[in-house]
Amino acid sequence: MRKCKNKRMNTIYLNVCIIVLMLIFGCQKLQQNDIEEESKMIKQEVKEQFRELISALNNLDSIAWSDFYSKDEFLSAFVSTDFYADRGEFIDSIKHYFTLRELQKVEPLEVQVNELSPTVALLTSQEKTEMQLKNGENMKSKHVYTLLWKKEQSEWKIIHSHESWIDE
């Protein structure tokens, strides 16, 4: 009788251990799926914001363009080798460049987003760019961005920007 009771206890113990292990590993799988879904959502949101930024550039809409840059968390921007630590100075400089352009077409060729945290993402991109200046000059270039985005309230804003280009 005692041997039978021990065997039954061992079976119960084994079943309890199996159930506990299934719960632990099942929860970990759910967490991993949640993390992957969140990462996918962040990448989609940042890519969508970038598409809207490109639209503002192509429309030469400096006001819409400037709204993508954080007012509260702006760190810095590089335009080629020009450095801006002040958001206002950076925005004013780019707005001036917009006034010199008749037409601008920025066409993304490659866009990559890496989630650094639930509230920070790094976007890198390559674009083909064509500009027609008001003085009649036409320019074609290969352009690249490195943009650090931060989630502020309900939308992503750029807190650091670096752009470079080479004339073609």
pLDDT digits (tens, 9 = 90+) for 142-168: 999 999 999 998 899 999 999 999 999
With contact defined as beta carbons under 8 Å apart, do 119 and 151 qualify?
yes
Whether the pTM exceeds 0.85: the reply is no
Place of tokens 């780019």: 94
Domain annotation for the chain: domains and CATH numbers = 45-167 (3.10.450.50)
Q: Percent of the chain, pLDDT > 90?
A: 76
Place of tokens 């809409």: 61
Over range 85-108, report the average pLDDT: 97
23-to-14, 36, 77, 135 alpha-carbon distances in Å: 14, 20, 48, 69
- Which of 165, 114, 167 minimizes the C-alpha distance to 144? 165
